[in-house]
Amino acid sequence: MYYSQAGQDEFIVNVLQSKQNGFFLEIGSHDPVRINNTYTLEKNFNWSGIMVEYLAGYAPLYKEFRPNSFHILEDATRVDYKKIFELTNMPFKMDYLQIDLEVNNRSTLTTLERLDATIFDTYTFATVTFEHDIYTGNHFDTRKISREIFNKRGYLPVFQDVCDHSEGVVFEDWYVHPDLVDMDYVTALITNNSKNYNNNGITGKSINCQNIEYPSADLKNLNTLE
């Protein structure tokens, strides 16, 4: 079963071909299960990682439902990510980065710039989902600047301007790093979904998360997992 709001976990599972024992950095974790992008990864594929969340009230739920991961309950813009990675022995080649914060107070862009300045020289992520929330307004030019940073760091956009249920709710970009994924599969994924982009009045075109089609691969049937 997938738990993400817009199929982010399905994207990760497919692109990484049901990888077991992966590692993630989830910034803006929110609820540990409901509408969470890494719960399936931890529960069904034995992943572990670092969960960063501003609201300390989630601590008991994280301990109960996310025991494999390291929980940081503080402002994402002030976390010493390099120190945390070193203390938790995170691998230099990681599997997934999520950034899901607030664009209107600049926490999204500030956090990405912090990662760029402190860990992107050393740590690389196979997959990335980044929430730019352009549908709420062009706050701090987050969409444009984030794309420049990921491009500079060698990330390839797979789906840009993912929307949720409505073409007008354009909110995320999804990336891979070509060195860490099966690019034959990713190329097929991009090509097969080129027809699924639709026009919108905000960015020109967007792809509805519900319309993304994944090429066949040797994947586990999540419906058989508890």
The 10s digit of each residue's pLDDT in 144-175 is: 999 999 999 999 999 999 998 777 899 999 99
CA distance 109 to 103: 7
CA distance 130 to 147: 10
The reported pTM is 0.94
CA distance 197 to 207: 4
The pLDDT value recorded for residue 164 is: 84
The pLDDT value recorded for residue 225 is: 41
How far is CA 14 from each of CA 25, 111, 186, 216, rounded to the nearest angstrom?
18, 27, 10, 9
The pLDDT value recorded for residue 191 is: 96
Tokens encoding 216: 């066949």
DSSP secondary structure of 154-215: T-EEEEEEEESSSTT-EEEEEEE-GGGS-HHHHHHHHHHHGGGEEEETTTEEEEEGGG----
225 close to 1: Cβ distance less than 8 angstroms: yes
CA distance 172 to 164: 9
The 10s digit of each residue's pLDDT in 35-48 is: 999 999 999 999 99
CATH number of 8-224: 3.40.50.150
The pLDDT value recorded for residue 217 is: 60
Task: State what percent of residues in the chain have pLDDT above 70.
Answer: 96
Starting at the earlier edge strand, list the strands of the sheet with 156-163.
70-72, 48-52, 23-27, 93-99, 124-131, 170-176, 156-163, 204-208, 197-200
CA distance 35 to 179: 29
Which pairing describes strands 124-131 and 170-176: parallel, antiparallel, or unpaired? antiparallel
* Average confidence (pLDDT) per 10 residues, the chain, 226 residues: 93 97 97 95 97 96 96 97 96 98 97 98 98 95 98 98 86 97 97 94 92 75 40
Torsion, Cα of 179, 125, 38, 218 (10° steps): 0
